[in-house]
Amino acid sequence: MTYFLYIIIFILLGIVLYLVFGKKEKGLADELKEIRKELVESREKNMESLQKQLEESGKIARDATIHIKDITAQLERVHADSQHVKDVKEQLGKLTDVLANPKQRGILGEYFLETLLKNVFQPNQYKLQYKFKNGEVVDAVIFIKDKIIPIDSKFSLENYNRIVNEKDPGRREELEKLLKQDLKNRIEETAKYIRPSEGTMDFAFMFIPSEGIYYDLLINQVGAVKISTYDLIEYAFKEKHVIIVSPTSFYAYLQTVLQGLRALQIEEKTKDILAGVEKLRKHLLNYNDFLAKLGTHLGTTVSTYNRAYKEFSKIEKDTARLTEGKEKVEPVEIEGPRNIEEE
| Opening angle at CA 136, ends 131 and 141, nearest 5 | 45
Average pLDDT (216-243) is 67
Average pLDDT (321-333) is 55
pLDDT of amino acid 163: 74
pLDDT of amino acid 50: 67
Give the model's confidence band at 226: pLDDT under 50 very low, under 70 low, under 90 confident, else very high: very low
pLDDT of amino acid 191: 92
| Opening angle at CA 201, ends 196 and 207, nearest 5 | 120
333 pLDDT above the threshold of 60: no
pLDDT: is 311 or 70 the higher one? 70
* Helix, strand or coil, per DSSP, at residue 130: strand
What percent of the chain is predicted at pLDDT more than 90?
Answer: 6
> What is each CA distance from 95 to 88, 107, 169, 190, 286, in whole angstroms?
10, 13, 30, 27, 73
147 pLDDT above the threshold of 70: yes
CATH architecture assigned to 109-245:
3-Layer(aba) Sandwich (3.40)
- Would you kindly state where each structural domain of the chain is located, as residue ranges? 109-245
Give the model's confidence band at 228: pLDDT under 50 very low, under 70 low, under 90 confident, else very high: low
pTM of the model: 0.48
